[in-house]
Amino acid sequence: MTWLITGGAGYIGAHVARAMAEAGERVVVLDDLSTGIPERLPQDVPLVTGSTLDRQVLDRTLAEHGVTGVVHLAAKKQVAESVEQPLMYYRENIHGLEVLLGACAAAGVKHFVFSSSAAVYGMPDVDLVTEDTPCLPINPYGETKLAGEWLVRAAGKAYGMGTTCLRYFNVAGAARPELADVGVFNLVPMVFEKLDAGEPPMVFGADYPTPDGTCIRDYIHVRDIASAHLAAARRLAGGATGDLTVNIGRGEGVSVTEMVQRICAVTGHEDVQPKVLDRRPGDPARVVASAARIREELGWSAQYDVDEMIDSAWAGWRARHDA
Ligand code: WQD
């Protein structure tokens, strides 16, 4: 059994690659290094530099490494950028997936794990989002993740691959400082950046219909995301057929105000007061996972809390910014 991990030099991909390798799985990484960092990978994990749009590289990699299963994380993932450059998002996330699935079918790959997102749900109007909550994405990024799931399920059915779609909620934290997210596109690093600049963290809207008026999300440690991939891969390798779609979340909502307070407390900025700004367009009031199905199907549940996410993300931030 050898697993190809696409996007394995990225923030989440490197956590997945390491967790699977440390658990004794044979893994090979494919990454175009557009945002990936080779040093995130241990020496003994082979890295092929290339794109999922390149069928030749795919054919060669699958054959040379005897790949029997794929964990596909390589994708573009910035919502705002997807609104400005939808064609790039459809090319990378959909065409790239279509080429990869074609290579998998030709090579007889039997297992496929797909990195999806809570963005498929759009603006869900429910307390807990289950996998049966209607999928109504509101930006091209979310559209490509939803259409990607359709492609994965259809290809799995047609070519006899067991497939699993993992819908990540709000990922944060790092297993070690050098694996931390280097992008400043999400709440946790955006607050870090403000704190470092001596400026107040921003709260985008405090007039939402939530208890404290700020948006509620389900934050999940990237180590938990990685262990969920390992569980999904092992379930497929153990003979599971058909398709499975599961949320990866803690099932616990945390508001922006609570999150900013925890970040200030954990990083020693107790006296800082955030600044409330207008709502950011396209933000749903509340997105919290039901984690029931993943517990039943994969026997998985989250192990890390919000303070551990913040603490480990801060260690990564400090390592980069104090250097
Ligand atoms: C969280 C909350 C902001 C910064 C996005 C994508 C989603 C997924 C994860 C990939 C929101 C608020 C933020 C700040 C703030 N991506 N905020 N001040 O928007 O829930 O999800 O990333 O799969 O598809 O949409 O995450 O971290 O950007 O924001 O008040 O400085 O924090 O408005 O309510 P989001 P986020």
CA of 187 relative to ligand 1 center, distance in Å? 6
Longest dimension (CA), the chain: 59
Beta carbons of 188 and 314 less than 8 angstroms apart:
no
The residues lining ligand 1, judged by C-beta closer than 6 Å to any ligand atom, are: 77, 79, 117, 119, 168, 170, 186-187, 190, 202-204, 215, 217, 256, 280, 283
| pLDDT for 83 | 98
| pLDDT for 29 | 99
d(CA 213, CA 242): 42
Catalytic status, residue 141: yes
Residue nearest to atom 30 of ligand 1 (CA): 203
Best mutation site among 83, 136, 186, 191 for ligand 1, i.e. most ligand atoms within 8 A of its Cβ? 186
323 residues of the chain, pLDDT tens digit each? 999 999 999 999 999 999 999 999 999 999 999 999 999 999 999 999 999 999 999 999 999 999 999 999 999 999 999 999 999 999 999 999 999 999 999 999 999 999 999 999 999 999 999 999 999 999 999 999 999 999 999 999 999 999 999 999 999 999 999 999 999 999 999 999 999 999 999 999 999 999 999 999 999 999 999 999 999 999 999 999 999 999 999 999 999 999 999 999 999 999 999 999 999 999 999 999 999 999 999 999 999 999 999 999 999 999 999 97
The residue annotated as part of the active site, out of 141, 168, 219, 304, is 141
Best mutation site among 93, 144, 167, 187 for ligand 1, i.e. most ligand atoms within 8 A of its Cβ? 187
d(CA 232, CA 71): 10
| pLDDT for 323 | 79
d(CA 65, CA 60): 8
Q: Which helix (H) or strand (E) holds 203?
A: strand 202-204
d(CA 214, CA 210): 6
Beta carbons of 97 and 143 less than 8 angstroms apart:
no
- pTM for the model stands at 0.98
CA of 217 relative to ligand 1 center, distance in Å? 8
Residue 33 carries which side chain, given as an amino acid letter? L
* DSSP conformational letter for 238: T
d(CA 268, CA 188): 15
d(CA 123, CA 130): 13
Beta carbons of 1 and 25 less than 8 angstroms apart:
yes
